[in-house]
Chain A
Amino acid sequence: MALRKYIFSVDHKIVGMQYLCTGLVMAFVGGYLAYVFRHQLAWPNEPVPLFGMVGPDQYNASVTMHGTIMVFWVAMPILLSGFGNYLLPLMIGAPDMAFPRLNMMSFWTFFLSTLLLMSSFLVPGGAASGGWTSYPPLAASPGLSGVEWGGHLWILAVALEFASMLMGGINFLTTTLTMRAPGMTLFRMPILVWMLNIASLVFMFSVGPLIAGAFMLLADRLFQTGFFLPQSGGDPLLFQHLFWFFGHPEVYVLLFPALGIIAEVMTVFARKPFFGYRPLIYASLIASVLSFLVWAHHQFISGMDPRLAAPFSITTIIISVPFAVAIFSYIATLWGGSIELKTPMIFALGMLAEFLVGGVTGIFNGSAAADIYLHDTYFVVAHFHYTLFPVTFLAGFAGIYFWYPKWFGRLMNETWGKIHAVLTIISFNVTFLPLFAIGLVGHQRRIFDPSLFDYLQPFQHLHVISTWGFIILFLSQIIFVVNFIASLCYGPIATRNPWSAATLEWLAPSPPGHGNFEEPPVVHRGPYDYSLPGLTGKDWKNQTEAV
């Protein structure tokens, strides 16, 4: 029975937890790989404690797998599937997902893909080492990289992971369209629900060509076809286009749920309605359309037709407009609010501030002229870590600390939570700020041993600072793990609504039972009715309270 209840469960809450926990475990795998190559970069050719000597092949494999794991096995499952599965039905007042069995299948497909990916470390030749973008011809011909099975497994695992995320996306969209509680109109839905659906849509329509490309790449590896090999009439550039046609929208697939999470957190801890709810939704919809028009800014120096550079520079700069609207909405939501700096709020504020740095540096990369110099340097590495780290981890932690009482019926320790938040945010900056500088002096990515380049010698200390920052960042997460596990048993018992939040999930018991609500909720108002005048005892009204 326990097997049926906790392992092979169709309940959206269990599925969400399974995704979240798998994602968190994989985050440690990805972090460990980062430790391996950061150590090699700071102290080249010294044995890495808890690993040993790093060879060039292992370096390539660890960089590749770090990227793959962090994007597809950490960010996607935590942000989209973990939070999405658990919270989406609760937030719209539904008893479960539209297709509970498909939901379970989605997780087990994902789990299988995880096993496939992890097994690639064990096969002869090691894991894939062609970069997380897996560009051909390197990735298309095992003879070039020396990685045979690792590459096959990489493609299979990624394709399966996409399939599982597609199943999840179909479920989100159908659930939102058909299972909303009475009165829950589209513009009464919490922002997170909107964002999860927009992300699912963007994912659904961008991933198809890359799935086709993955089949073609696999055929190149297994059946000696030449889809991406110039000597057979194929074109490696085509894969780059297919990859980034998906890869850029994917950035927003991760960003949207993160924006949703911090919107929920910020309104609660600023005790204010969200400023510009509709403009934010419209801006996100516009950005999701624009996200299909910017992909080639990843390829300015790939040898693509130079006439494409100007249009893609322009669209890239245009897409910063809707996101500027979004960021201003968040800032205006904070403006004049009674801000309470609980752990989730610290993480949410951190996410907004750090993401801003990532977004602003993106404008340099987005204009072709600057990018020709910056491309493939550590500047780009720093830029996308400033976008993806806040999105995945800062917003992710904000969400975990925020909904933990709902999930487990207990609160996490606040003091240790704050220490975790402050350490994480500071050490993150120590890790990645030096990389901007190191990139601007021309340090290329994917260099195994920087000590071989004389002009990089004066900047080696920046690598050392960055690696120390990373070690502190990695070790700080132990605080989180201990807090997470210890609070399961010793945390203070949470009421149904410990944060005085107005959205529907806080009506359900903590943790919600099977079917979520004791009686089906009926919605009468928007999701963020905080600081209402003329109330005694509380300053907010739940969505189900009559107007």
Chain B
Amino acid sequence: MKSSVPIWRLGIWWFLGSEIVVFGGLIVCYLLYRFHHPEWASEAAHTLTWVGAVNTVVLLTSSLTMILAHHEVEHGNARSGATYLGLTILAGIIFLLLKSYEYHHEITEGFLPSRSLFWSFYFLMTALHGLHIVGGLVANVVVWSGLKRRFATHRIESVGLYWHFVDVVWIFLFPLLYLSASGGMR
């Protein structure tokens, strides 16, 4: 049985497999505590749901531009591929700016990580996710700067896989941290 998946893509999948258990472990801990502490709903009500929602749109859109960049490069259009990848990078930066606005708002309002367990989780999970965004941005910039010199479908697909994964993590973090304000998840 020879594998039909190219080496680099298989490597990324294994890497994502190991990332799933890291983020997943954190989410499992959060859920366990969340069910134990129904009163967190009132804490969660202080998150800026609309900023979070806009950030979700930003990340979903960045996923679209990322897959379009891959699509273009695959069809031989390095120029428009670079444009789409540039848009993805831009979206990542917007995400981080909005996230820091949120952090600024929360910290000035006194919602520090040490305030309660909910905020501990909020800051730890979003910070870990933010670090992944930063890592993804660095990788994207490296691929973007090399895109004009050589066609490297596999490079853009590798960073793409990772970027989509970070997006998927956010898809779960958003309802876990923002939408649980209504007293749900008892």
* Chain A contact residues, CB within 8 Å of chain B: 98-99, 102, 166, 169-171, 173-174, 177-180, 185-186, 204-213, 215-216, 219, 223-227, 232-235, 238, 242
List 17 contacting pairs A-B, 8 Å CB cutoff, sorted by A. Answer: A173-B14, A177-B10, A179-B7, A204-B18, A205-B21, A207-B21, A209-B29, A211-B22, A212-B29, A215-B26, A215-B128, A219-B113, A223-B113, A223-B120, A224-B113, A232-B117, A233-B33
User: CB distance B23 to A212 under 8 Å?
Assistant: yes
Determine whether the beta carbon of A185 is less than 8 Å from that of B29.
no
CA distance A108 to B107 in the complex (A): 37
Which one of B22, B24, B37 contacts A233 once the chains associate, using CB atoms below 8 Å?
Answer: B37
Q: How far is the CB of A96 from chain B (nearest CB, A)?
A: 12
Check A208 against B117 for contact (C-beta < 8 Å): no
Rank and list the top 10 A-B pairs by shortest CB-CB distance, nearest first.
Answer: A208-B21, A209-B25, A225-B120, A212-B25, A224-B114, A212-B26, A208-B22, A170-B14, A233-B117, A174-B11
Chain B min CB distance to A161 (Å)? 14
Q: What is the interface of chain B mostly: helix, strand, loop, or mixed?
A: helix
- B residues with CB within 8 A of A: 1-3, 5, 7-8, 10-11, 14-15, 17-26, 28-29, 32-33, 37, 113-114, 116-117, 120-121, 123-124, 128
Contact partner of A226 (CB less than 8 A), chosen from B2, B10, B32, B114, is B114
B11's contact among A98, A209, A235, by CB below 8 Å, is which?
Answer: A98
With both chains docked as a complex, state the minimum distance between the C-beta of B152 and any C-beta of chain A, in angstroms.
Answer: 16
- Is B117 within 8 A of A234, CB to CB? yes
Whether A178 pairs with B25 at a CB distance below 8 angstroms is no
Instruction: Decide if A178 touches B124 in the complex (CB within 8 Å).
Output: no
- Assess whether A216 is in contact with B29, with CB atoms less than 8 Å apart: yes
Distance in Å: Cβ of A243 to nearest Cβ of chain B: 12
Judge whether B29 and A223 touch: CB under 8 Å: no
Q: Are B14 and A174 in contact (CB under 8 A)?
A: yes
Query: A188 CB to closest chain B CB, in angstroms?
Result: 12
Nearest neighbor of B21 in chain A, beta-carbon distance: A208
B3 in contact with A178 (CB, 8 Å)? yes
Shortest beta-carbon distance from B28 to chain A in Å: 7
**Chain A nearest CB, measured from B157 CB (Å):** 16
| Chain B positions within 8 Å of A171 at CB level | 11
Contacts of B19 in A (CB 8 A): 208
Question: How far is B33's CA from A98's CA once the two chains are assembled, in angstroms?
Answer: 41
Chain A residue contacts of B10, Cβ below 8 A: 98, 174, 177-178
B114 and A223: CB pair below 8 A?
yes
Which residues of chain B have C-beta atoms less than 8 A from A179's C-beta?
Answer: 7
Cα A205 to Cα B20 in complex, Å, equals 9
A298 to chain B, nearest CB (A): 18
Asked if residues A226 and B14 are in contact (CB atoms below 8 Å), the reply is: no
A478 to chain B, nearest CB (A): 40
Return the chain A residue nearest B4 by Cβ: A178
Q: Is B14 a contact of A204 with CB atoms below 8 Å? A: yes
Q: Could you tell me if A204 and B17 are in contact, using CB atoms closer than 8 angstroms?
A: yes
